[in-house]
Amino acid sequence: MRVLVAPDGFKGTLTAREAAEAIAAGWQHARPGDTLDLLPLADGGDGLCEVLAREGDRWLEREVVGPLARPVGARALLRADGTAVVESAAACGLHLVPEQQRTPMVTTTFGVGELLQAVVDAGARRVLLGLGGSATVDAGLGALTGLGYRLREADGSGLKVGGGELHRLASIEVDWAPDLTHVEVELLADVETRLADAARVFGPQKGAGPAEVEQLTAGLAHVAEVMARDLPHGAGCAQLPGSGAAGGLGFGLAAALGARFVPGAARVAELVGLPAALADADLVITGEGRLDATSLSGKVIGALLERASGAGGVLVAAVVGRLDPPVPDQLTDVEPAAPAGAGDDPHAEVAAAAERLATRIGTG
């Protein structure tokens, strides 16, 4: 049997490639006669660059302003075809903020703007920007500042960074910003949340309490009005599906640069050649850290199941870290690796789960 192993990363434990290797190891232990093809996937969050990296590509490394306005090391992928791949989380990710310091009232996307400018300066004419994993709800104002836009308060002073300052924005000056009209920017999102709901949906997981969510929501609405007036593409951007991703980061870039939102998982699937790989597979094994009600909406598993359904109905099973029932009808089988949470050796746990799944499928 030819088995395609195509998981997402297991957040906080295994990258997509590490997860694919662990699944393959366990599967081959139970079914050594099967042929395995490994195709790690992503949806625009952590691991996007690694999944899209190919021979001949190169890495660009920069020190940028991190989410807490302190320097962090970040890198982006420069592909041989002139496309750059940037993970917003590399510059403003939640993983860069100690848990006790997490609050979107002070975190900034400034470093994302710096990273975007760096890849353009390096020659990129198209940028794929993943929006997952941010620590911010600043409507992309930090990123615009990092790109050279001048954000002003009513008294003419510069706007301070952080979601807690959104309501103070009075105007945006574009004269100081670089001309990026020759650069195509695609925003890879795994959600369709609009700007108005960004604080409510994502604020709590980034450290915002109820009062802060209310303030952020009002601030985002205010910023949308200013951007509609001052930025070339600002009108209507707040209504775009995905405009609330990464706390509105994509919204700000869409308003300023005309960047367009695309479903991240579907775009990555296209870029890595998933349709052709499905055509050769007898069975697909996918996976992610937690399978729940959101897994079929914009995530890797949902996009893969949709593709598989259109590829002659090839069967899809999954190895996951944890499972929140019920199991989606589209999956042939699911095996959880760590129902009580990841242990000291996630690779071994995922491999053991894959072995159990392979044994069950082999006897069933």
Among 283, 274, 237, residue whose Cα is nearest residue 257: 237
Copy the structure tokens of residue 88: 């917003």
Give the pLDDT of residue 342. 79
The DSSP secondary structure of 50-109, one letter per residue, reads HHH--TT-EEEEEEEE-TTSSEEEEEEEE-TTSEEEEETHHHHBGGGS-GGG--TTT---
Please tell me the distance from the alpha carbon of residue 120 to that of residue 126, in angstroms, as a whole number.
8
Work out the number of other CB atoms within 10 angstroms of the CB of residue 1.
13
Give the pLDDT of residue 328. 85
Burial per residue of 177-215, b for 16 or more beta-carbon CB atoms within 10 angstroms, e otherwise:
beebeebbbbbbbbbbbbbbbbbbbbbeebbbeeebbeb
Please tell me the distance from the alpha carbon of residue 286 to that of residue 40, in angstroms, as a whole number.
9
Q: Which amino acid is at 68?
A: L
CATH superfamily of 2-39+273-363: Glycerate kinase; domain 1 (3.40.50.10350)
Digits of tens for pLDDT over the chain (364 positions)? 999 999 999 988 999 999 999 999 999 999 999 999 999 999 988 899 999 999 999 999 999 999 999 999 999 999 999 999 999 999 999 999 999 999 999 999 999 999 999 999 999 999 999 999 999 999 999 999 999 999 999 999 999 999 999 999 999 999 888 899 999 999 999 999 999 999 999 999 999 999 999 999 999 999 999 999 999 999 999 999 999 999 999 999 999 999 999 999 999 999 999 999 999 999 999 999 999 888 888 899 999 999 998 777 789 999 999 999 888 888 999 999 988 887 889 999 999 999 999 999 876 6
Cis status, amide bond into 32, omega within 30 of 0: no
**Tokens 């998982």 identify what position?**
265
Give the pLDDT of residue 364. 61
Strands 283-291 and 2-5: parallel
Q: Is 60 left (phi over 0), alpha (psi -120 to 50) or beta?
A: beta
Give the pLDDT of residue 329. 87
Whether the CB-CB separation of 126 and 257 falls below 8 Å is answered with no
Whether the CB-CB separation of 19 and 40 falls below 8 Å is answered with yes
Give the pLDDT of residue 297. 83
Please tell me the distance from the alpha carbon of residue 154 to that of residue 219, in angstroms, as a whole number.
15
What sign results for the dihedral spanned by CA atoms 230, 234, 236, 240? negative
pTM for the full predicted model? 0.93
Q: Which long-range contacts (CB under 8 A, 24 or more apart) does 341-345 make?
A: 342/10, 342/12, 342/13
Q: Which residues contact 109 (CB under 8 A, 6 or more apart)?
A: 67, 88, 91, 92, 134, 136, 138, 140, 141, 142, 143, 146, 246, 247, 249, 252
Could you give the C-alpha distances from 174 to 144, 150, 178, 334, in angstroms and in order? 10, 7, 9, 51
Residue 239 is given by DSSP the state G
Tell which CATH classification among 3.40.50.1820, 3.20.20.370, 3.90.1510.10, 3.30.565.10 matches the domain 48-264.
3.90.1510.10
For the chain, the structural domain boundaries read 2-39+273-363, 48-264
Question: In the chain, how many H helices and how many E strands?
Answer: 12, 13
Among 224, 245, 246, residue whose Cα is nearest residue 234: 224
